[in-house]
Structure 1
Amino acid sequence: MKKTFFSFLIFIVISANALGAEKHRSEHINDYSIFDVKHFGALGDGIANDAPAIQRAIDTASYYGGGTIWLPIGNYRLVVPLVPKSNIMIKGAGLGAVLMATTPVKGAIGQPSGDLYNFSVEDITIKGGVIDEGVFPRRARTYTPSFTSAIFMQGDRMADSLPHIQNITVKNCNFLNVRGLPVFFQGVSDKVLVTGNYFENCLDPGFIWCESVQFIANIVKKGADNGVSVSRGCVKAVIANNIFEDVAYWGVWCSGFMGTAGPQSFSITGNVMKRCGYGGVALVNGPQNGTVTGNTIDTVFNGPTDQRSKTHGRGVWITPLTVGGEVAQEASQIVISGNLFRHIARGGISLSGAADILISGNSFINVGATDTTVSSVNYNTGVYTDDYSVPGGGLKRIGLVSNSFVDTRNISFSNFAYAPAIRTSTESYQKNNTMLGFRQPLGERLAVGGNTDADQSLTINARPGALRELLFQTAGVRRWDLRVTNTAESGSQTGSDFSIIRRNDNGSVAGYPLIFSRADGSVRLVEATGKLGFFNQAPISKHAAIPNTTGASVATLEQEVNNLKALLRSYGLLNL
């Protein structure tokens, strides 16, 4: 009897627990599949270890096919990373829902235990242990024990032994003071979208071996590395409408690394990069098929405050992939258009090992503050090359069209709009570029028309009474002018005569060898010391006057005719 009664009590307890658990589960399933972590035992007091409770919520939601893990306002301390599951969204109360750690933890959300699909994180804050402030941009940091990363995971695009990871979203989250990469996605298939987030005092949000990266409308401040790194093995990338401010290295690193090429299809559009240490956009190790458009790159230093070097300070940097010192893949088919480059310490765009690069419609303002040498071609220059072995030899089909180069400073530092090696590189071209205040001439290569084009023309137009000139220089000093004079036009074809002007070594006028009259077509040899020769005859000075032969004898006339024939021969007008 006692045994039967005891068995009955056990049955009652088990049944009650089962009913309670089922009621607990059904509450969350019926409430639009929202699983409140506090219902699973999380305290959010910053003291208790809330990782087991939050993981229970994730596992329960996964058991029922997915759902939203809700983090109310609180500080949720973790001692191990949370393990993500498919079809799960971890969502919180924004700045008030904080994942934190007070001991070393690899990350807040870590590697999945199996294949992972359709996982997202929204509206939470992950706070690390970096504690220093100070002058930025800066590389060095001090920190207390906490997360190394915030979100990290590795998929099978890196290695077959890893789980398949596909379709990851991180949206409207805050990443504060994380010692390492706040998000580090590796080998993710299909889409990884990071949008609307705020990153401060972390390393760079990073992506490698991902199929399609979208980094959109984020704010990154005081980064200890790049603003964002879309690096080796990534295939497609969109980096758009972000703000990168006071980052130690590059605003955008869209490049290869460690012997692997950069992304092969990319768009970097509408970003603002301000006060970067190394530069604005890095396209190194042979990225291809991309655009850099509509970005503002405002103020680039010669490195972060704790790593200054005059070699740093570029707006955009483009290089090939090299293996064993040889070019394995050029950076190619890239359009850089409609960007603002302002106060860039070294120079605007640096190229090497590149082909089919179109640089158009950009504005370069006050580029260069590094080297005061006027003749320097790879410092203080709008577009230049770092190919020192054969300057420009690694460049092909570099187009510069409709760019503006301006130095507004009281003392100009800008040298060349584009370096001579850029201008003379293989099949490269320049058209409709303008320059003001630079210390070296524009030097634009001009070509009008093509092999099969119809009639072409080159026009130099001005108001009445103005000079119209075509100037020829050596090292920036004038040598010859072709000029339409500024003599006022008063009717009857008067004025606007054509002249040729020669100049001294210092560029001053040496003389006017020829003037052509528009009124009557006459040609004047103007200079008293001028010489004249025809048909490759050595030029000679004006001959003395021939005496008057009126009433002269036949012998005298014959002699004067012979003198005249000799004179014509000396000018090259008669055969010997």
Structure 2
Amino acid sequence: MITNVRPEDGAHIDTVGGATATRRGLLAGLAGAGALAAVLAASRPAHADPPPSGRVLVEDHYPASTTTDQEAWQAALNAAAALPGPSHVIASGASYHLTQPLNLTGFQDLTIEGLGPTSTTLRVDPARATALNNLFVIGGTAATARVTLRNLGFHGGMLSPEPEAHARDGAQPRPFPAGGYLRTAIYALGADDPTASGHAVVDGVTIENCRFYGTDGLPILLKGVRNVVVRDCYARRCLDIGFTFCTSVHFIGNRVEWCADNGVSLSRGCSEVVCVGNTIIGSFAAGIFAGGFGDDPGPSQITIVANTVLDSALCGIQLTKGTTDALVQANVIDGVLRGYGTWESDGNGPIYGVGVMVAGMPLTHSEATSSGNQADYERLAQRIQIIGNTISNADRAGVLMHGTDQISIIGNTVHNPGSATYVDGVTPIPPDATYRNTGIGPFAPAAAGCTNTTIALNQIADDRGGVMIYGVIGAQGVSTLAVGNTIVGAAQTSGGAGFRAPALPTVSRPTAASVGIGGNLYDTTLHKPIWSDGSAWRDAAGAVV
């Protein structure tokens, strides 16, 4: 685990004042368009496409000394909209103070680019009496396609000094002024969002090498958008970067620090999601949230691979409310609390303090989970593979699940799961609290909430003197396999070795011929194990049953 860290560079905090003089001085030192192109090329990531030919410079739209940044930006966008083909708006100033949203609806093939995330900063004019909800806005009756924002910084207006450790509005607030601050830097609402009545399709939004600091709300909020790429961005002390009802989302190579909610929310209604190679530190809720919300189930067809998730206050990776068709592989999760500050409580649900949490959509949508059988779930979390992850110091459990079907948990390393005491730091956690101090298992093991579960070849270790109660709890229900798990240091062990035979009543068991010679199961009607000889079921004495 790590401790709270500060921005690496003072420029990450703010660069304001003297904006017009700085911008014009920079341009005066450039030897024409060729030098400007060289500067932009040097700051552009290697994977960036070459700029389109229709360049518009924001600096060219300050006709008078009294021209405001807002007027210059709007004039530059108007000029870009008038071009017949692709357009490239270049912002070369050190900082811009804006007072109103900049609407990008209807653009096709638009790129907006600064000189770098710490060299070109946009923020709300401090003189504005209220907050600005959104800065760049996409969404309306005109279709929008292929919009890119690149090499820009956004300062939300959060005041100094920063809060210590985890912070969220309420008892652990982030300080903001009465006005002149920003809630969301980039907002889009496309036709695929069920609430977007009358909105046109938004297809193709790319945000790369941008920086977001101290926004009051979600720095990026994209809803109902197709073909989204957010890569190589940095966000600190904001809310979560959020996606809902989006198709084809690539969230790659980003760094998110000390956000006041989740780190990233790949949320309800999303599909075809790739979340790879991100570093997420100090989230107040989940590091990576890939679940449903309210009445809407979780995402589907989601890949969460090779991320580093550190010091989350609630959950490392959360797949709840019926997430389906997911791969969670090769992630490193270190440090998960049971809530923080006013959110820390022994009465919290089983999500709190878990490395990887998987659950279905309860019939009662207001509940995050259900402790009942599968019949208590409207939609199960299905077809999920949790493979080769390293999970350390999760204060409740390494991997918990309920309301699931076809889950494979294979080859993970779980180190020091659980806590010796309740949050008071004094009262020991009793040995029957199986969903509190567990390496891997269902959070309601007495209920038949999980089917077709494989828990195999995992390493679970506790070197704190027996804090962990169970290494593995075999999931309840039929078709569960717990085999080859290595468990060291648990107060009790379960499911660490051997094959767990399927358990079925006589009326539900398959034919002996379909299972083949040597196939076995436990007959819950006869209360004994039985084996197939290829044509009939036999008990241990050889009698046909």
- Report if TM-score (shorter chain) is over 0.5: yes
Cα deviation for residue 154 of structure 1 reads: 0.5
Letter in 1 for 2:363: V
When residues 298 and 48 of structure 1 are mapped into structure 2, their CA distance, relative to the original with a 3 A threshold, is farther
Is the aligned partner of 1:274 residue 2:324? no
- 1:111 aligns to what? 138
Q: Deviations over 1:121-161 (max 9, x none)?
A: 00000111222523222223221231111100101112341
Letter in 2 for 1:198: Y
The TM-score normalised by the length of structure 2 is 0.73
Aligned ranges 1:271-310 → 2 under 5 Å? 271-310=307-346
Q: Distance in 2 between matches of 1:205 and 1:429?
A: 37
- 1:338 aligns to what? 388
- 2:359 aligns to what? 319
Cα deviation for residue 250 of structure 1 reads: 0.2
Question: Residue 126 of structure 1 aligns to a residue in which SS?
Answer: strand
Aligned ranges 1:95-494 → 2 under 5 Å? 95-101=118-124, 102=126, 103=128, 104-113=131-140, 114-131=142-159, 132-140=161-169, 141-144=174-177, 145=179, 146-158=181-193, 159-189=196-226, 191-310=227-346, 311=348, 312-324=352-364, 326-369=376-419, 370-371=421-422, 372-387=429-444, 391-409=446-464, 411-419=465-473, 422-444=474-496, 446-447=498-499, 451-452=515-516
Q: Deviations over 1:95-138 (max 9, x none)?
A: 11111112321122013452110001000001112225232222
Over the aligned positions, Cα root-mean-square deviation in angstroms equals 2.7
Q: Distance in 2 between matches of 1:442 and 1:323?
A: 30
Whether the aligned pair in 2 keeps the contact of 1:352 and 1:392 (CA below 8 Å) is no
When residues 133 and 31 of structure 1 are mapped into structure 2, their CA distance, relative to the original with a 3 A threshold, is closer
When residues 363 and 50 of structure 1 are mapped into structure 2, their CA distance, relative to the original with a 3 A threshold, is same
Cα deviation for residue 80 of structure 1 reads: 0.6
Cα deviation for residue 59 of structure 1 reads: 2.1
Q: Tell me, which stretches of 5 or more residues in structure 1 are unaligned?
A: 1-26, 457-576
When residues 195 and 455 of structure 1 are mapped into structure 2, their CA distance, relative to the original with a 3 A threshold, is closer
Whether the aligned pair in 1 keeps the contact of 2:52 and 2:87 (CA below 8 Å) is no
Whether the aligned pair in 1 keeps the contact of 2:123 and 2:182 (CA below 8 Å) is yes
Whether the aligned pair in 1 keeps the contact of 2:462 and 2:468 (CA below 8 Å) is yes
The TM-score normalised by the length of structure 1 is 0.69
Cα deviation for residue 31 of structure 1 reads: 9.1
When residues 135 and 42 of structure 1 are mapped into structure 2, their CA distance, relative to the original with a 3 A threshold, is farther
Larger Rg over CA atoms: 1
Whether the aligned pair in 1 keeps the contact of 2:339 and 2:353 (CA below 8 Å) is yes
Letter in 2 for 1:330: L
Aligned with residue 83 of structure 1, among 99, 103, 125: 103
Is the aligned partner of 1:36 residue 2:57? yes
Cα deviation for residue 447 of structure 1 reads: 3.2
Cα deviation for residue 424 of structure 1 reads: 4.1
- 2:368 aligns to what? none
Whether the aligned pair in 1 keeps the contact of 2:191 and 2:202 (CA below 8 Å) is yes
Whether the aligned pair in 2 keeps the contact of 1:423 and 1:445 (CA below 8 Å) is no
Aligned with residue 52 of structure 1, among 33, 54, 71: 71
Cα deviation for residue 452 of structure 1 reads: 2.9
Q: Which moved more, 1:309-318 or 1:276-285?
A: 309-318
| Number of equivalences | 423
Whether the aligned pair in 1 keeps the contact of 2:289 and 2:318 (CA below 8 Å) is yes
Cα deviation for residue 425 of structure 1 reads: 3.1
Cα deviation for residue 386 of structure 1 reads: 3.0
Whether the aligned pair in 2 keeps the contact of 1:317 and 1:349 (CA below 8 Å) is yes
Q: Deviations over 1:511-535 (max 9, x none)?
A: xxxxxxxxxxxxxxxxxxxxxxxxx
- 2:41 aligns to what? none
Q: Distance in 2 between matches of 1:52 and 1:327?
A: 54
Q: Identity across aligned pairs (percent)?
A: 25
Q: Distance in 2 between matches of 1:364 and 1:445?
A: 17
Q: Tell me, which stretches of 5 or more residues in structure 2 are unaligned?
A: 1-35, 38-50, 366-375, 423-428, 502-513, 521-545
Cα deviation for residue 306 of structure 1 reads: 4.1
Cα deviation for residue 235 of structure 1 reads: 1.8
Whether the aligned pair in 1 keeps the contact of 2:69 and 2:97 (CA below 8 Å) is yes
Q: Distance in 1 between matches of 2:340 and 2:397?
A: 16
Whether the aligned pair in 1 keeps the contact of 2:457 and 2:484 (CA below 8 Å) is yes
Q: Distance in 1 between matches of 2:432 and 2:296?
A: 36
Q: Distance in 2 between matches of 1:447 and 1:424?
A: 14
Letter in 2 for 1:399: T
